[in-house]
Amino acid sequence: PTASAAAAAETTTTAATQEDFSEYDGDDYEEEYDDIPKRLYLCWNCNKYFDSVDALAKHDEYCFEHIN
């Protein structure tokens, strides 16, 4: 009985955790973070902004060769 009680307790805990997370990812979460602007990355050669490091890196290689 002890083993199955432990298993039952484990299952309950997991279910509760998943529930907490699904609530957390809901509307409140999105509303709260919607008005935070995306992080932008600046190309120092031509002052263009990019929304990811990868996009900046690809651009930067090209830009550096053509501007200098």
| Domain total of the chain | 2
Q: Are residues 30 and 1 in the same domain?
A: yes
Its sign, for the CA torsion 24, 30, 36, 41, is: positive
Question: What pLDDT sits at residue 9?
Answer: 59
Which domain covers residue 57, as residue numbers?
A: 37-68
Can you tell me whether residue 41 is helix, strand or coil? strand
The 10s digit of each residue's pLDDT in 10-67 is 555 555 555 555 555 555 555 555 555 667 889 888 888 888 999 999 998 888 777 6
Q: Are residues 65 and 47 in the same domain?
A: yes
Determine the longest span between alpha carbons in the chain, in angstroms.
Answer: 75
Q: Are residues 55 and 29 in the same domain?
A: no
Q: Are residues 60 and 29 in the same domain?
A: no
H-helix or E-strand spanning residue 50: strand 49-50
Q: Are residues 32 and 53 in the same domain?
A: no
CA atoms within 13 A on the CB side of 29: 7
Hey, how many other C-beta atoms are within 10 angstroms of the C-beta on 41?
17
Q: Are residues 26 and 47 in the same domain?
A: no
